[in-house]
Structure 1
């Protein structure tokens, strides 16, 4: 029998994924600045996380790699921190001690958890992750674009219980509206390939402040566009729009 699987969205791309009693934190973000706003309540503090068995970080952007907040919250710096070299080099300078550097198609283990980095593409170097434990498989998409290599995941890893994908299609105005995150339609097409039991969108509420939204970034803040697209492309896949702090149990 497969272990229980629960996910709680803390905010943005920060998720607490629990494989039975094993707890994995993704892309931590607990604070905000003048140009980085979660756009929704953050459901936990770094100090209030409780025990975490592993942290996975897709890339070094502040809203996915808020290591200073973990340190300020008294986080255990012996907790394994997993990510590409661009992330683990930063973590090393900040005092994290158990660093696992993995790039696309490389894996590491923490107890019964296997973490495999999978391809990603963003404005900086990024990986995505497949997390496996107790007969459960989760895909965590960070804030990557939709890249063709991700279509191979079902043949490599089998059945997915859960996919967590970004949907806001973030574009950078100063770069001629260059797109750096998959949009709702692209995320839905990937969901149709992955065919998870449950699909949850994230990375849609974020905004850059009043001036930043006008001058720096453009994005789709409505996750219903993703749900509608999945309903059209793969109507048998369940999509759940989740408020921060709400635990979701995956069947």
Structure 2
């Protein structure tokens, strides 16, 4: 019997993924600071989260690895599966079960299989395929599009959901270095992976009026991804999820 699958967006690239009775949190972000604003509500705070069975963290940037806020989550023994540079930060925040995964390594947590896949960003990053009960979700953090990602279904089988960054973020002065895939590239990956459902993430983020003007350039409209998928692979549906909105994914 296929397990139920529900994805709830908290903000940015932070989601709750519930497969059967297991719950995974992705890339925790629960606060704001100068030049780092979600650009949308933060639907839950750590104290209000359900019981987590695992947490995956793609890389060490604050908007994906907000451990100062996430340390308020009461269960410090929750398994954290993380990119290598995150290990020390997570242990310093008080979490006791912290495991680094390299690309193509996997770990079993209860009924969950969490497999790390490659990523490419401004710092070292891994992405994740999260599977249980015949359901599978790809969580892409905020990676660029790299050739290895096109092989995910060859390695792990069909995907129910692909959570893909879409804002094409450029950073620095004069904002010339791209560090996140854009809507067109995310649609190309959708066409390669052909998930049952594609969900955009990592698009509302803003550096504020000064940060956006001086250091950052990005596309903040997820409709660009919706339109690109309709053009490149029209038989794959796309759903834009508002913060706090639970999305039940049909088998």
Normalised-by-shorter TM-score class: over 0.9
The correspondence of residues 93-242 of structure 1 with structure 2, limited to 5 A, is 93-174=92-173, 176-242=175-241
CA positional deviation for 1:76: 1.0
Identify the residue that residue 25 of structure 1 maps to in structure 2.
Answer: 25
For 2:208 and 2:55, the matched residues in 1 are separated by: 28
User: Aligned-pair distance for 1:173?
Assistant: 3.3
Contact in 1 for aligned 2:175/2:215 (Cα 8 Å): no
Distance in 2 between residues matched to 1:174 and 1:59, nearest whole Å: 23
Measured after TM superposition, the shift of residue 74 of structure 1 is 3.7
User: What is the aligned partner in structure 1 of residue 10 from structure 2?
Assistant: 10
Aligned residues: 250
8 Å contact from structure 1 (residues 201, 241) kept in 2? yes
CA separation in 1, counterparts of 2:111 and 2:216?
40
- Distance in 2, matches of 1:75 and 1:131, equals 23
Q: TM-score, normalised by structure 1?
A: 0.98
Question: Deviation per CA, 1:22-71, whole angstroms, max 9, x where unpaired?
Answer: 00000000000021101001111111002111000000000000111111
Q: Indicate the SS of the match to 1:63.
A: helix
Q: CA RMSD in A?
A: 0.9
Query: 1:234 Cα deviation (Å)?
Result: 0.4
Q: Is the 8 A contact 1:169 1:180 kept in 2?
A: yes
**Residues 41 and 176 of structure 1: CA distance in aligned 2, closer, same or farther (over 3 Å):** closer
For residues 53-72 of structure 1, what are the structure 2 equivalents within 5 Å? 53-71=53-71
User: What residue ranges of structure 1 are gaps of 5+ in the alignment?
Assistant: none
The question of whether the paired residues in 1 share the 8 Å contact of 2:127 and 2:141 is answered with yes
In structure 2, C-alpha distance between the alignment counterparts of 1:173 and 1:35, rounded to whole Å: 13
Question: How far off its partner does 1:101 sit?
Answer: 1.0
Give TM-score, length-normalised by structure 2: 0.98
